[in-house]
Amino acid sequence: MSAYERVKQWNTFARIWHIYDAKWQNPFDSAKVISKHIQGLHKPIYHPLNNCGDHVIVFNSRHIALPGYEWKKRAYFHHTGYPGGASWTLAWQLHEINPTLVMQKAVKWELPRGLSKFGLMARLHIFPDEEIPEELLKNVTSQLRQLRPVPRTLDSYSDKEIEEFPKVMDYPNDYILK
Amino acid sequence: MMNIHGLTKTLASRSFQSVSVGRNIHVTATSFLKQIVEQKQGKTLTIEAVYQPSPRSSTLIKLPEVEDKECCSLCKLDLPIKHTDVLILSQFLRSDGCMLSRRVTKLCSKQQMRMSNLVSMAQKAGLMSKLNPRNSKKNPKLRYGEKKFNNYWDESLMRPL
């Protein structure tokens, strides 16, 4: 085997570590992308019996964004097994308790049903903030693209930028600025 | 005691005096809409109040020419404005975050409604938190309950123009 063939072999079968910034991202849309990379569905050598999935590190999971009023409309169901043991936790309450759980459950639901889920979920590493352990971060060789642009607040623009931005509307002559 | 007529008379004379001397005494509330210009030509002194140019006049966008004369500025521009375009949306707001009236914005009723809906979306998403009443919570992270977390809005669900 030539050196080129050998490197090609390594690159094909090596486990890649991806990193994903979840800031202002919808966890349910991101879960579709993340679950594909965890299973290895993006690779041409994919086969259900082939263990070719990658690792994904998700950070800033505390700063995920849900559309509209979904923080208070989405409920997470749990039953203890005893009579009257049902409970419904709203998404914002769950996120307050643990800022990684909404993201984790979103990816878990996206994976195929069965016992392979446990092995696949072990390749997902979620961190609520920007602090990632050094031993995980040194493996990272690839970054997943964000699905939504991170919006800029009005405070992040300087006064000069706001002033020089093209104006759509002018005040009438007799308007007193407030 | 001075009667009302006499009071107004003295006030009028005082205001005239302040103008001619150039002192900064105002009888009514100051709005700084006009600037007093004094011009002397020979023996005649003309005192004139001139409207000052608005602070936006230098950065106004040039509108494309459209056949329909009753088209408002946003209909002419035909921009796909989203709730994240805070630099455009903040142009329709007062410093306390209230929407300007249609008399001021000169938009058609549909665009005015759309802009006020987009502004409320941007406020809920915490993108324009400084443009709020003085005593309100300016930091969106300190809001109560589900409001402290990030959210975004879908403009495709809005009523089409």
Residues of chain B with C-beta less than 8 angstroms from the C-beta of A167: 56, 59-61, 91
Residue B136 lies in a domain: yes
Most confident of the ranges A127-136, B13-22, B46-55: A127-136
Residue B104 lies in a domain: yes
Residues of chain A with C-beta less than 8 angstroms from the C-beta of B31: 176
User: Phi-psi region for residue B126, left (φ > 0), alpha (ψ -120 to 50) or beta?
Assistant: left
With an 8 Å Cβ cutoff, are B86 and A152 in contact? Answer: yes
pLDDT of residue A98: 97
Q: Out of A72, A163, A176, whose CB is closest to B33?
A: A176
Q: Is A172 in the B-facing interface, judged by CB distances under 8 Å?
A: yes
Q: Is A38 in the B-facing interface, judged by CB distances under 8 Å?
A: no
With an 8 Å Cβ cutoff, are B86 and A171 in contact? Answer: no
pLDDT of residue B29: 74
With an 8 Å Cβ cutoff, are A176 and B31 in contact? Answer: yes
With an 8 Å Cβ cutoff, are B149 and A66 in contact? Answer: yes
Read off the CATH number of the domain in which B83 is found. 4.10.640.10
Q: Out of A67, A169, A177, whose CB is closest to B91?
A: A169
With an 8 Å Cβ cutoff, are A176 and B153 in contact? Answer: no
Closest residue of B to A73, CA-based?
B146
Over residues B98-142, the pLDDT tens digits come to 999 999 999 999 999 999 999 999 999 999 998 988 888 889 999
Task: Kindly state the percentage of chain A with pLDDT values over 70.
Answer: 100
Token couple for B63: 């509108």
A-B contacts (CB, under 8 Å): 113
With an 8 Å Cβ cutoff, are B91 and A167 in contact? Answer: yes
Question: Could you tell me the pLDDT band of residue B23, with boundaries at 50, 70 and 90?
Answer: low
Number of domains composing chain B: 1
Q: Which residues contact B27 (CB under 8 A, 6 or more apart)?
A: B11, B14, B15
Residue B156 lies in a domain: no
Question: Cβ(A54)–Cβ(A38) under 8 Å?
Answer: yes
Over residues B37-87, the pLDDT tens digits come to 999 999 999 999 999 888 899 999 998 888 877 789 999 999 999 999 999
pLDDT of residue B18: 41
Q: Which residues contact A55 (CB under 8 A, 6 or more apart)?
A: A15, A16, A17, A18, A38, A123, A124, A125, A139
Question: Cβ(B106)–Cβ(B72) under 8 Å?
Answer: yes
User: Phi-psi region for residue B42, left (φ > 0), alpha (ψ -120 to 50) or beta?
Assistant: left
Average pLDDT of span A30-40: 97
Question: Cβ(A23)–Cβ(A60) under 8 Å?
Answer: yes
Question: Could you tell me the pLDDT band of residue B22, with boundaries at 50, 70 and 90?
Answer: low
Residues of chain B with C-beta less than 8 angstroms from the C-beta of A161: 87
With an 8 Å Cβ cutoff, are B59 and A163 in contact? Answer: yes
Question: Could you tell me the pLDDT band of residue B6, with boundaries at 50, 70 and 90?
Answer: very low
Average pLDDT of span A131-140: 96
Question: Could you tell me the pLDDT band of residue B5, with boundaries at 50, 70 and 90?
Answer: very low
Residues of chain A with C-beta less than 8 angstroms from the C-beta of B132: none
CATH number of the structural domain A15-147: 3.90.1180.10
pLDDT of residue B137: 85
Token couple for A47: 């086969």
With an 8 Å Cβ cutoff, are A170 and B51 in contact? Answer: no
CB-based burial label for A107 (10 Å; 0-12, 13-18, 19+): buried
> What ipTM does the predicted assembly reach?
0.90
- Maximum alpha-carbon separation in chain B: 72
Q: Out of B33, B55, B150, whose CB is closest to A174?
A: B33
Residue B32 lies in a domain: no
Residue-number span of the structural domain to which B97 is assigned: 69-144
Residue B96 lies in a domain: yes
Q: Is A101 in the B-facing interface, judged by CB distances under 8 Å?
A: no
Query: Residue B35 above 70 pLDDT?
Result: yes
Q: Which one, of B62, B92, B113, lies nearest residue A175 by Cα?
A: B92
